[in-house]
Amino acid sequence: MFSGVYTALITPFKKGKVDFDALGKLIESQYKAGVNGIVPCGTTGESPTLSHEEHEQIIEFCVKQAKGKMKILAGTGSNSTAEAIRFTQFAKKVGCDGALMVAPYYNKPTQKGLYLHFKKVADLVNIPIVLYNIMGRASVNIEPTTIAKLCKDCKNIIGVKEASGSLSQMSAIKALVPNIELLSGDDALTLHVLSIGGIGVISVLSNLLPLETLSLIRAFEKGNIKEAKKIHYKFLPLVNALFMETNPIPVKTAAAMLGICSSEIRLPMCEMEESNKLKLKKVLKDFKLLK
């Protein structure tokens, strides 16, 4: 259901407010490039610093702009189960195709707590759910056995965005749940994830280069592994540059350099260090994205 390239949308800001004009243009550029879908209000969209009202406004705006053109997989996760239910119900109400639910952060729930959290949302909201496993930000790992139990007990939990960085863990998940939709949560690992049965990527890079991100997936799907490897290595320096500081600082900085939106970011995220900004600019020039 969620195969291909799903762009983890940045949230453009202007003078402290969501810049819906810039967001609309970004969505349109993604549609014209042919991406399979968009993911608003995720990590890259700075969801932790969005108000509840902004979170819902952005999701609804994305549905109005993109429904019928590409799929909308809305970020609806929270470290509060009640809040996750609210956002997921809203995503369902306005017409999203699915919900991306991050592991509850800061609380550090047990595996039983994780199971009960996701199950409660899945039981209450009949919408396709993709789990989001990112221990580096959540401080807890959704273990493969927990994912398997959730998929068995909740038919609307259909996939997982894996940003653990562990191909061993991803392989274990696929071994336990062969039909799960495995999506790469790291642009640098997309090719690797495809090779073990993944079906796509939730991408940061595609905010800037949607066509090029798509080209890797399409080459792999056609069995042209040599071409897919070539694309992987070609864009790896840019991918690495986009993560030289905490996401989404570099990608928003790059977006500003390319005229997509301002680089405005909300505290506690802050402006990119000048030395890193110069490195990023050089990489963009190397790729002929900047003169």
| Other CB atoms within 10 A of residue 288 CB | 7
Half-sphere exposure of 32 (CA within 13 A, CB side): 9
What tokens does 260 get? 């997509």
Percent of the chain with pLDDT over 70: 100
In single-letter form, the type of residue at position 262 comes to S
- Of 184, 182, 111, nearest to 150 (Cα)? 111
Q: Which one from 92, 161, 174, 252 is the annotated catalytic residue?
A: 161
Q: Are strands 17-18 and 4-8 parallel, antiparallel or unpaired?
A: unpaired
Query: Rounded distance, CA 204 to CA 175, Å?
Result: 27
Residue 131 pLDDT > 90, yes or no?
Answer: yes
> Is position 132 annotated as part of the catalytic site?
yes
Query: Is the whole model's pTM more than 0.85, yes or no?
Result: yes
- Structure-token match 């965005």, residue found: 161
SS3 181: strand
Residue pLDDT, tens place only, 261-273: 999 999 999 999 9
Quote the pLDDT of residue 253.
98
Give the chain's largest Cα–Cα span. Answer: 54
Mean pLDDT to the nearest integer, 138-150: 97
Residue 141 phi, psi (nearest 5): -105, 130
Tokens representing residue 236 in the block: 């790896």
Answer yes or no: are the C-beta atoms of 238 and 28 closer than 8 Å. no
The burial of 65, by beta-carbon neighbours within 10 Å (0-12 exposed, 13-18 middle, 19 or more buried), is given as buried
* Ramachandran assignment for 18, one of left (phi > 0), alpha (psi -120 to 50 degrees), beta (any other): beta
8 A C-beta contact, residue 133 and residue 160: yes
> Per residue in 215-268, pLDDT tens?
999 999 999 999 999 999 999 999 999 999 999 999 999 999 999 999 999 999
* Residue from 71, 92, 132, 149 carrying the catalytic annotation: 132
Phi, psi of 184 (to 5 degrees): -70, 135
At residue 291, the pLDDT reads 83
pLDDT for residue 242: 98
Mean predicted confidence (pLDDT) in 145-157: 98
Per the CB < 8 A criterion, the answer to whether 133 and 108 are in contact is no
pLDDT of amino acid 94: 98
Question: Does an H or E element contain 120, and which?
Answer: helix 111-124
**How deeply is 79 buried, as exposed, middle or buried, from its count of CB atoms within 10 A (0-12, 13-18, 19+)?**
middle
pLDDT at 209 over 90: yes
Task: Give the per-residue pLDDT at 36.
Answer: 98
- In order, the DSSP letters of 186-202 are -GGGHHHHHHTT--EEE
Q: Could you report the per-residue pLDDT of 50-85, keeping only the tens digit for each?
A: 999 999 999 999 999 999 999 999 999 999 999 999
Angstrom distance (rounded) from CA 154 to CA 37:
24
Burial 139-168 (b: 16+ CB within 10 A, else e): ebbbbbebbbbbbeebeebbbbbbbbeeee
Please state, rounded to an integer, the average pLDDT across all residues of the chain. 97
